[in-house]
Structure 1
């Protein structure tokens, strides 16, 4: 009898172990299997949160098949105590194992809100953007200019610990404009009193953190420009129209200010290369403007004839060759164009009314292009004058 009882007991234990093993295997399979999400979602983990709260958030979003298995999996892999605060993108179909890794891995937030401070030639703009997890694209939530009242949404996200911040510097902005804009932000730490040399700051997008000193941010821009210049100078053409990295920045800055059309940069560069080779003056308006403003703001009007004739170190209607310094901070593409211009016979160009330029090899051809541009200007002026009457 006892043998029978013992035999049945062993059988029951075996069955129980088998069932337990099956449950464990099922749980492991569920933990690593594809999740129920049809579309990606953004999960925000508040500072001081715990795995129980995060589990409830995920369950509410329909991201996990079993809250119990999710928490057991996090506990079993010793990750429950590694939870990180932030906003995290949970992809469609993410397994519970993958989600645990996402919220415990650390690093920068991968979802949520970012603030971009755009430093342009004519204005400084703050833009609040929020990631749409379904499309993985940022959607503009608010924007305002530096001299306007901050948008309400901006003030809200400034209070959120996981908001990310970037400074985006446009090509052709001067060093003074960059420093002046950064000093004016309500996010940065200590101001920078001394303006870096013109042309030495790379137009690009830079991640920043609240409290970063302006000098720290500017140093990164300076380092980036050094890297770009060193790389492109090493790859320069033998017949490049410049003789040093310093001259490269000067010519690139003029190219940058003369055209906003990417496809034209090397053509514009060819005009200046041909003029330098022939001993002609560059005669470019942006250098005259820089001689007036010294890069501190925008002139905001047309040039006067007296200003075109006035002697300044930057007035290329008066001086021979290149001016002594860059007139703005050129981007990578303009630096590359200065070191490798198109092979053309162009020595003139003028606006063509489309945003680009009409190029010419002879003065007669150039004069015809100028006459067409004058007609376009006159027509636009007449249309503007007539507009209020309509």
Structure 2
């Protein structure tokens, strides 16, 4: 009897030892597994649907080839149950992540963030095309006008009223939320520029400042020229001259514009043809930047009435028509400069 007890005790001890060894081996295997990088060669998106369990997630990752041995993940969660509290959303996995890193992101809800840059100088139509192709963004028709209406602006004239900047959003965000931020930011920047404007500007309202700033934005190739170009247009308005700026003509042409302006286009009567109308066009022609708003708010004090492109992004500024025509001959018509006539002695 004593011998049987000894044998049984020895067997039990052996089994317990094997169990402990097995448990330790299993624990070590799972811990090592938790620090193994995901099977990815490049970043990849992961969608965790609402109500997804960790077991379902494990199978999803295995089916996508991101992990192997789903049993190890299940055992990891037995050892560390806090890793099971995952949140739904769209995440980005990277080759450098371990399974633990990924689970920690899912627990913290570190969903993937997208950035969208609304570039200054672009029109609403151009922005609409950009938004339509933005990933994971809910787009709706006439969204810019819809935002205006929600903000109490029933003009249905969205051009120029949204601030160009970089905005961030998460998957399936409503584009109206993003554009509402843009609209409010433009309101703030425009109000600030209007409040800080130089005295005696030939502008009746902040909206006219917005219109002029949009023209300056389209005419500016170099940032340091903004104040000078604004000064030219302010001088022209003060003297009752036409603005005669090509970007307004192009805007008025709409889809007819194919890269060139003809003489016929310059004599066409449209509300945006500043070669025919006096004063400002009825609306902005693009989204002005903060710098262009500031330039119109405080234009350079210059005598210039004209400018012509050097074809390198910069301009030659002139105070008289004669100087301007000479600059046009040199830089546009490629003629040799006319030497000044010397008076006889």
Taking structure 1 as the reference length, the TM-score comes to 0.56
User: How many residues are treated as equivalent by the alignment?
Assistant: 311
Rate the CA distance shift 1:247–1:121 in 2: closer, same or farther, 3 A.
Answer: closer
Structure 2 stretches of 5 or more lacking a match? 146-152, 336-345
Q: Does 1:165 align with 2:134?
A: no
Of 99, 103, 113, 1:100 maps to 103
Rate the CA distance shift 1:102–1:342 in 2: closer, same or farther, 3 A.
Answer: farther
Report the Cα distance in structure 2 between the residues aligned to 1:71 and 1:233, rounded to whole angstroms. 62
Report the Cα distance in structure 2 between the residues aligned to 1:302 and 1:181, rounded to whole angstroms. 34
How far is 1:96 from its partner?
0.7
How far is 1:85 from its partner?
5.4
1:255 aligned residue? 216
- Check conservation: 2:194, 2:206, Cα contact below 8 A: yes
Report the Cα distance in structure 1 between the residues aligned to 2:245 and 2:22, rounded to whole angstroms. 81
Q: Write out aligned runs for 1:116-135 (5 A).
A: 120=123, 125=129
Report the Cα distance in structure 1 between the residues aligned to 2:319 and 2:23, rounded to whole angstroms. 87
Report the Cα distance in structure 1 between the residues aligned to 2:10 and 2:242, rounded to whole angstroms. 105
Of 346, 349, 370, 2:307 maps to 349
SS at structure 2 position matched to 1:375: coil
2:342 aligned residue? none
1:359 aligned residue? 317
Report the Cα distance in structure 1 between the residues aligned to 2:39 and 2:187, rounded to whole angstroms. 46
SS at structure 2 position matched to 1:368: helix
Q: What are the superposed Cα offsets for residues 177-206 of structure 1, whole Å, 9 maximum, x if unpaired?
A: xx86968xxxxxxxx985136542334567
Compare the two structures and name the one with the higher strand fraction: 1
1:327 aligned residue? 284
Report the Cα distance in structure 1 between the residues aligned to 2:86 and 2:272, rounded to whole angstroms. 61
How far is 1:94 from its partner?
0.3
Q: Does 1:225 align with 2:186?
A: yes
Of 27, 30, 38, 2:30 maps to 27
Structure 1 stretches of 5 or more lacking a match? 131-162, 168-178, 184-191, 378-390
- Check conservation: 1:253, 1:326, Cα contact below 8 A: no
2:76 aligned residue? 73
SS at structure 2 position matched to 1:200: coil
1:41 aligned residue? 43
- Check conservation: 1:50, 1:83, Cα contact below 8 A: no
Report the Cα distance in structure 2 between the residues aligned to 1:129 and 1:312, rounded to whole angstroms. 31
Q: What are the superposed Cα offsets for residues 65-84 of structure 1, whole Å, 9 maximum, x if unpaired?
A: 65323233356435557463
Rate the CA distance shift 1:10–1:46 in 2: closer, same or farther, 3 A.
Answer: closer
Q: Does 1:285 align with 2:223?
A: no
SS at structure 1 position matched to 2:311: coil
Higher mean C-alpha deviation, range 345-354 or range 204-213 = 204-213
Which protein is bigger by CA-based radius of gyration?
Answer: 2
RMSD: 5.4
